[in-house]
Amino acid sequence: MLFNSLEFILFLPIVFILYWFVFERNLKIQNLFIVVVSYIFYGWWNVMFLLLIAFTTLCSYISGILIEKSSDRRKAKIINTLNILLNISILGVYKYYDFFVNSFIEAFSGIGINMQGSLLHLILPVGISFYTFQALSYSIDVYKKKISATKDIVSFFAYVSFFPQLIAGPIERATNLLPQFQKRREFDYCQAVDGMRLILWGFFKKIVIADTCAGKVDLIFQNHETLPSSSLWLGAILFTFQIYGDFSGYSDIAIGVAKLFGINLMKNFNFPYFSRDIAEFWRRWHISLSTWFRDYIYIPLGGSRNGKWNGLRNTLIIFTVSGLWHGANWTYVVWGLYHGLLFIPLLLLNLNRKHTGNIVENRLLPSFKEAFSIFTTFILVVIGWVIFRAESIETAYTYIKGMFGSSILSYPREALGIDTIIYPLIVLFIIIEWVQRNKEHALCIDIIQFKYLRTAVYLFILIVISFFIIGTHAEFIYFQF
């Protein structure tokens, strides 16, 4: 079920009313209701895949109990490892089997050897990477004794399947989300209002920014071989805003909807395009995934504790795995490596933790040095998104090469069209996010003391969204991951 669909617009208020006014008195029944509606939400796309998420959930639930009951640490490690291998195997078969078989065949064909291989042609379950990682983090944390194993199967199923963040995150930790399902929740008006503001801003990002950029992006990427450099830069920059508006918009809606049900999810985006270097970008972009790889892969591998070279190796490993996590295509792997290579100089010079605070605090405008750092980081990210968006390595190479041609200063004729309204909207979007860059989110406008003026701002955004939403039901980009 899409957030930006009529079905969800009807689904949400019905669930909200039943949750708070019918099932509120009994915690277990309320959690069971969450599981049922979450499975309806997920099964709306394909009922068959409900068995898959239920199996993944059950495996991690049983593993947690067995790990905690085991007095032998070696036995507990075996149970945890088996659960990891089982879930990663399921993810691997659905998401990567055909990709690796094809790559294997093509590699041997390149040296004149014809190989045969059977492809499965499986449909990729929506959000499988997200809920698999969320389930795995629980059993790993039980093994590490960061959390006690729960015997409340209903709350655990609610933790894994909670519908706002089920399909595209944030990827929650059991240490944060599971305890929230194990205690009574009371309706908080202020929390709900903040949730509605997040939902509103998330829809603005998705429908007004991302979906409006999508048409020009598709046109430019499909015809990149015949277009001037200026048009290619236009396409790359528009995709940069498309993917940000699309993915962070989903996260905002998910976090906002969760607040309506008295649940707090982790922040997943923190104004990443104002980052001053690549390290800061990854602390601000898809935070739940970045910290997942840090805590469950980078640190267990030794992090940077055992010398620079080990730190460099581990950095390249997590960026490569992060790229592969995004999809079964070598473009994602190269995109991950690209960011890893950009990260390495910062690590070598001990500058990877240089920018951990607020962006340009207590001043409206950045200094020249800060502006230059933000601009260069943004350009590096834009180039990376071309690799991410391209259908193949060859396409990415051709596109990036074309971006640096002699026509780079020409006027991009593809900028014209009926959807040119996107340009002032992006400028407005950037201004709003810059002004609010050190707030919890862009619609934290309590500084406006006049209630009616704040309401007018919300109504204006709602009207703009309503104008753009007509006839659009575009899926979120990260559904495929």
Collect all residues with Cβ–Cβ distance below 8 Å to 9 and sequence separation of at least 6. Answer: none
Active site residue 339: no
Structural element, H or E, at residue 76: helix 73-109
Dig out the tokens for 166 from the structure.
Answer: 């089920």
Dig out the tokens for 255 from the structure.
Answer: 């976090």
Comparing CA positions, the residue from 262, 245, 170, 258 lying closest to residue 201 is 245
**CA dist., res. 301 & res. 316, Å (int):** 12
**CA dist., res. 161 & res. 424, Å (int):** 39
Q: Report CA-CA distances (Å) from 127 to 92, 176, 313, 386, 449.
A: 14, 20, 29, 23, 41
Comparing CA positions, the residue from 50, 11, 41 lying closest to residue 128 is 50
| Residue bearing tokens 């350009």 | 379
Among the options 121, 224, 286, 326, which is catalytic?
326
Under 8 Å between Cβ of 184 and 27: yes
**CA dist., res. 324 & res. 339, Å (int):** 13
Q: Report CA-CA distances (Å) from 9 to 20, 41, 53, 66.
A: 18, 12, 24, 41
Under 8 Å between Cβ of 271 and 260: no
3-state secondary structure 10-59: HHHHHHHHHHHHCCCCCHHHHHHHHHHHHHHHHHCCCHHHHHHHHHHHHH
Task: Give the residue numbers marked as catalytic.
Answer: 326
